[in-house]
Structure 1
Amino acid sequence: MTKLTHQWYASWFDTPYYHILYKDRDYSEAQLFMDNLTNYLNLPEKGKILDLACGKGRHSIYLNTLGYDVTGIDLSEQSIAAAKSYENDSLHFEVHDMTKPYPKRFDAVFNLFTSFGYFEDESCNLKTIKAIKSELNTYGFGVIDFMNVKYVIDNLVAENIKTVNDIEFHQKRRLENGYIVKDISFTAEDKSFEFQERVKALNLKDFKILFEKAGVHLLDVFGDYKLQAYHPESSERLIMIFK
């Protein structure tokens, strides 16, 4: 049995099985979100965007097709290696820890699709927001797109099996010590694997406290990728614009 839980995001995200499990994510929805978000922010032509925790770069690549100069960073060496095949003069990828400031300034810094709250050391949440602040130019905007924790908990599926590429992924979910936890087990290539995802159950109040400590100002909050109003009880997302 291969069981990897220490710094789960560093090990799980670097396996091919992570990308297999989530291969059916909705690209059209993601592109709609990018269209809506960049229009709302009114970013300058050829504006510079930093995509934090970019994975294999699907959002960075799309933002680049809209005319933006995009840098994608991620902790996963394998994901960045895959993303680098798409690089051009205005699209770059680099292995980098998002809790540490990236040494350039941007018109926008995006942290998308619940790529926050992974850390076992909770001080890293504040470090990440402080890093975003340092990465923004004078007119830049920070964006964190997080799950709406109440909605997720109210609709949590305790257990299910998802079959992808003939692999049966057994998934168990629970709320534990302030984290939303998903245990994932499966067999592939005659080996058994166990992984765990842990995301801090941060709500809007928690983020406001982090923003205040980091010295950034919350400008707007949206509840979905169409940028409709945020409702604590029913919105699927918690999308925060700050600077």
Structure 2
Amino acid sequence: MTKHTTKWFTSWFDTPFYHTLYKDRNANEAQTFMDTLTQYLNIPEGGTILDLACGKGRHARYLNKIGYDVTGADLSENSIEFAKQFENHRLHFKVHDMCKPFHKQFDAVFNLFTSFGYFEHEIDNLNTIKAIKTDLNETGFAVIDFMNSEFVIANLVPEEVKTVDDIDFHLKRYVENGYIIKDITFTADGEDYNFQERVRAFTLNDFEALFEQADVYLLDVFGDYKLNKFNPKTSERLVMIFK
């Protein structure tokens, strides 16, 4: 029996296999990025941060560890349930749809590691930017850390097999109708699974158009986690700071 889903981000993110496939993500790099980013933004000591689409909370937990009052929000009930074990009086996790305002204002709102552009309806991309704007206080900053689509497409690996915890993940990548798509098939515990990741291949120009529609102001654009200058041809990331 093959288990398949089309609305991928509400189910793929909720499976343990998602976290298995991506377990090798670099924690040190993520922590260094948070150090660099919070220093650059000069977020006040004890300041409030909303980590939007926080997953299991790896960024939120580190931000809390270095002194911030952090709320992690994610659509995945399983991820939030996992993250709640780390809660304290200045670290909270909540199931939340990021297309909608959180109804609380923060010193910063972070949307990290390409956690944007996978909605079924185009309007939800704009709604998310508008919601982020609503969630910022008067002096607050927002950050979207997205892939550099131009670089990703130019360096796309069409097919590979990645073996993690004795599971062979067969990955097929391609571009279709403005989306970067990854088909993921594997067998685990005698069952076949088939998932698909679909992320809109947004460019900086696309984001600038969204920001204009949402009436937010783009302050800075960087090309990596060390906050070096963005180059559309060579940068791996597209890190945008706005308010």
Deviation of 1:3 (Å): 3.5
Instruction: Write out per-residue CA displacement over residues 35-63 of structure 1, whole angstroms, 9 at most, x where no aligned residue.
Output: 00000000001000000000000000000
Aligned partners of 1:39, 1:154: CA distance in 2, in Å?
Answer: 32
Once the two structures are superposed, what CA deviation does each residue of 1:21-45 show, in whole Å capped at 9, x if it has no partner?
Answer: 0000000000010000000000001
Whole-angstrom CA distance in 2 between matches of 1:213 and 1:180: 24
> Which residue is equivalent to 1:161?
161
Cα distance in 1 for partners of 2:26, 2:222 equals 19
Mapped partners of 1:2, 1:26: distance in 2: 31
Task: Report the residue type matching 2:199 in the other structure.
Answer: V
Unaligned 5+ residue runs, structure 2? none
CA–CA distance in structure 2, aligned partners of residues 85 and 199 of structure 1:
30
Counterpart code for 1:45: E
Work out whether 1:108 is the aligned partner of 2:112. Answer: no
**In the alignment, is the contact (CA less than 8 A) between 2:6 and 2:196 conserved in 1?**
no
Match status 1:33 vs 2:24: no
TM-score after normalising by structure 2? 0.99
Q: Which runs of 5+ in 1 are unaligned?
A: none
Q: Which residue of 2 aligns with 1:224?
A: 224
Q: Secondary structure at the match of 1:84?
A: helix
- State the alpha-carbon separation in 2 of the partners of residues 187 and 6 from structure 1: 18
Residues 1-243 of structure 1 mapped to structure 2, 5 A cutoff: 1-243=1-243
* Cα shift at 1:151: 0.4
Distance 1:207 1:10 in 2: 24
| Distance in 2 between residues matched to 1:39 and 1:218, nearest whole Å | 19
Equivalent position SS for 2:10: helix
The one-letter code sitting in structure 2 at the alignment partner of 1:203 is T
Structure 1 residues 133-178: Cα deviation after superposition (integer angstroms, max 9, x where no partner) = 0000000001000000010001000000000000000000000000
User: Aligned partners of 2:44 and 2:5: how far apart in 1?
Assistant: 42
For the 8 Å contact 1:4–1:12, the answer to whether it is kept is no
Equivalent residue letter for 2:143: V
Give the Cα–Cα distance (whole angstroms) in 2 for the partners of residues 127 and 28 of structure 1. Answer: 32
Q: Which amino acid in the other structure matches residue 176 of structure 2?
A: E
Report deviation, 1:7.
1.5
Instruction: Determine the C-alpha separation between the residues in 2 that align with 1:152 and 1:213.
Output: 26
Cα shift at 1:120: 1.4
Using the TM superposition, give the Cα deviation of residue 6 of structure 1 relative to its aligned residue in structure 2, in angstroms. Answer: 2.3
Mapped partners of 2:76, 2:4: distance in 1: 15
- The answer as to whether partners of 1:186 and 1:192 remain within 8 angstroms in 2 is yes
CA distance in 1, matches of 2:114, 2:5: 19
Question: Per-residue deviation at 1:103?
Answer: 1.1
Task: Give the counterpart letter for 1:193 in structure 2.
Answer: Y
Contact 2:184 2:194 in 1 (8 A): yes
Partner Cα separation in structure 2 for residue 87 and residue 122 of structure 1: 34
Distance 1:2 1:180 in 2: 23
CA distance in 1, matches of 2:14, 2:145: 22
Residue identity in the other structure for 2:151: Y
Q: Which amino acid aligns with 1:95?
A: V
Give the CA RMSD over aligned residues.
Answer: 0.6
Q: For the Cα contact (< 8 Å) 1:51–1:110, is it kept in 2? A: yes
